[in-house]
Amino acid sequence: MLIGLRDALDFAESRNCGIAAINTPTLELLLSAIRVAERYQVPLIVQHAQVHETVNAIEDIGPVMVELARRSSTGLVVHVDHGETVDYVERGFAVGFNSAMFDGSRLPYDDNVAQTRAVVEIATARGYGVEGELGVMPGREDGVESKGVADQALYTRPEDAAAFVAATGVTALACSFGTVHGLYKAVPKIDYELIRELRRAGGVPIVMHGGSGLSCDEYRSSIERGVRKINYYTYADKAGLDAARKVLDDQPDTHVFCDLTVAATKAIEANLDDLVRCLYRVV
């Protein structure tokens, strides 16, 4: 069933847990994410990022995401991730998405505020929540161009977070505090005290982007300090790739693509199962 972003965040707040937000540009990722959410009967967010338009257009994969969410036995949010333009967010809403993240983090501050506020106004008219972003994280959501290490000079400042939330009215705020998009090339150094300060200053749930590749202790330490939504993609997708490679290595006479997709889906599902059990503290 479809639920709103606020509903998912309220669940996380009441349970002191994190909501898994999975980018699902392929059916293998989408089915795996929903199966795991249904297995543990927890709310989950399925997302499509604008950078994944080269994989599947939101008009193609989006209706599938929405329909499977409606049919699900657990609560699912269908979320535009890293919408870089107001128009792209509206494209998501047009196909049935009920939540969005506008990413103006690389814009001048005033432009970020103005465009995020415009998205909030559009979403509010529909009863939807909006995630904004302040501060810059290296890399892209598809894992390309990642340096694998964060730059402290780009971390979000608490005073800026407070002003941004007040000016835009966002439901949740993605911040920079030590995580990166893509594969980690060094041990991440998460500023946990900064997370606490950002949550206190902004007064809204904090979103962790670049959530792939952390340890369960790192996730839970972040949750304890105010993170409520954890974006996850790269390491699940890589698990699928590794499984497909193993099929080809072990069975070089494989002659149909479906053998690879079946193996990839099982590996992605196992990867997401580990994530959900950690974030939601289920056994």
Q: Which residues are catalytic?
A: 81
d(CA 281, CA 82): 27
Rounded to whole angstroms, the Cα distance separating 231 from 201 reads: 22
Give the contacts of 252 (CB within 8 A, at least 6 positions apart).
none
Burial 194-214 (b: 16+ CB within 10 A, else e): bbbbbbebbebbbbbbbbbbb
Backbone angles phi, psi at 176, to 5 degrees: -100, 120
The answer to whether 50 and 100 have CB atoms below 8 angstroms apart is no
User: 269 — phi, psi (to 5°)?
Assistant: -60, -40
User: Would the CA dihedral through 27, 34, 90, 88 be positive or negative?
Assistant: negative
SS3 content of the chain, % helix, strand, coil (to 5): 50, 15, 35
- Residue pair 128/99 in contact (Cβ under 8 Å)? The answer is yes
E-assigned strand segments in 123-211: 129-134, 172-175, 206-208
Based on the number of CB atoms within 10 Å of its own CB, is 217 exposed (0-12), middle (13-18) or buried (19 or more)? exposed
